[in-house]
Amino acid sequence: MKNTSDIAFTPAVKEIQEKFGSRKTYERMELSGGWQHEVNSNLFHILKNMDSFYFATSNSNNQPYIQHRGGPKGFLKVLDNKRLAFADFSGNKQYISIGNLSENNKAYIFLMDYANQTRIKIWGTVEVVENDNELINSLSDENYNAKSERAIVFTVEAWDVNCRQHIQRRFTIEQIEEVTKPLYEKIKELKQIIETNKI
């Protein structure tokens, strides 16, 4: 690849960009350094607060499949500046992603941080690790009720933060409780004052 974005900007994509007038914008982006190809501190800090992502694979017939992956915050871990990894928990036993990866190791991670209106695209390749208990255990969380069957090690080839437009802000129950807890405590305090001063 000449540029990291070539992983997505194939000749066919560039031809369409040229047709609709956006090619020069992306050429300037490529000249200024293009997309990231290593895990930096920004990506690390985003990942440590994420509790879900979307994982895309495709089979040898190029049929894509997207699966939601969830776990405790930070379950998608940084191994080094090129590799991410996560535990593959026991699920419904369809094994579509694992089957796809057995014949096509290219994969894609799509992260949505709704609260901060941020989406991140990560392209790479995957190694499925079955027999490394030390690695698998290091990716597991003893406080999370799920059995880890294997490790998925994702080598980053390119990543980019996408446009914030059209991302509606959504919040987890935990985030809402963090904001509303002081309000409920204040209401409780005021109720006690009212009860104390009742005649």
Dump the DSSP string for 145-196: ---EEEEEEEEEEEEEEEP-TT------HHHHHHHHHHHHHHHHHHHHHHHH
Write down the pLDDT at residue 154: 98
Domain ranges of the chain: 1-34, 36-168, 170-199
As given in the structure block, the two tokens for residue 137 are: 């255990």
Which stretches of the chain score pLDDT less than 70?
1, 199
pLDDT at 199: 55
* Amino acid found at 41: S
CA distance linking residue 109 with residue 116, whole number of Å:
18
Give the residue from 123, 111, 131, 133 showing the smallest Cα distance to 154. Answer: 123
CATH code of the domain made up of 36-168:
2.30.110.10
The pLDDT score that the predictor gives to residue 165 is 80
Following CA atoms 132, 133, 136, 142 in sequence, which dihedral angle do they give, to the nearest 10 degrees? 180
Q: How many CA atoms lie within 13 A of 70 on its CB side?
A: 3
Per the document, the length of the chain is 199
pTM of the model: 0.85
Q: How far is CA 94 from CA 2, 97, 140, 151, in A?
A: 38, 8, 21, 17
**What is the model's pLDDT at position 114?**
86
